[in-house]
Amino acid sequence: MEPSTPSSGACNEHTPSMCRAREILDRVGDKWSLQVIALLGERTKRFTELKREIDGISQRMLTVTLRGLERDGIVSRTVYPVMPPRVDYALTPLGRTLMDAASSLVRWAETHLDEIDEARAEYDVRAAETDALKSM
């Protein structure tokens, strides 16, 4: 049920800080975590609300993602024992610091994604040309 990564214990002696970076990417680098964090950054939300706002996520993956974030102390989960059930999710203070840290990456993405797409296109063209030469 839990695909949580035990991960490698051994680190890299040359890149101690990067090794740690790997650890956080193991936590927020997956397909959905950052989106959940961003949405909860706006305000506390309910399960269905999140599901509705995150395009393409399945119930299962939303559950798994939220559990992981909760386990890591990034998201808090509040259950109201009513009928029908109601559960609120919110960022913890720790989660908020993570959101801030991630925001520089988000800004980078907004700024440079076009350049990446360009670079890709050029690279693919060159690759196609090279292929054409080889098959002559």
Partner DNA sequence: CAGCATCCCGGCTGATACTG
Partner DNA sequence: CAGTATCAGCCGGGATGCTG
Residues that bind a second copy (CB under 8 A): 1-2, 5, 7-8, 10-15, 17-25, 27, 29-31, 34-35, 38-39, 41-42, 53-56, 70-74, 94, 97-99, 101-113, 115-116, 118-120, 122-124
What values do phi and psi take at 5, rounded to 5? -85, 120
Question: What is the smallest separation between the CB atom of 129 and a second copy, expressed in angstroms?
Answer: 15
Strand order, beta sheet including 86-91? 45-46, 86-91, 75-80
CA angle, residues 65, 25, 77, in degrees to nearest 5: 30
- In the complex, minimum distance from the CB of residue 82 to a second copy, in angstroms, rounded to a whole number: 20
Determine contact, residues 32/61, Cβ cutoff 8 Å.
yes
Axis-axis angle for helices 93-134, 33-42 (nearest 10):
140
Residue 90's binding partner among a second copy, DNA, none (Cβ under 5 to 8 angstroms by kind) is: none
When the beta carbons of 86 and 107 are compared against a second copy, the nearer one is 107
Q: Which residues bind DNA (CB under 7 A)?
A: 1, 3-5, 30-32, 46-49, 56-61, 63, 66-67, 77, 84-87
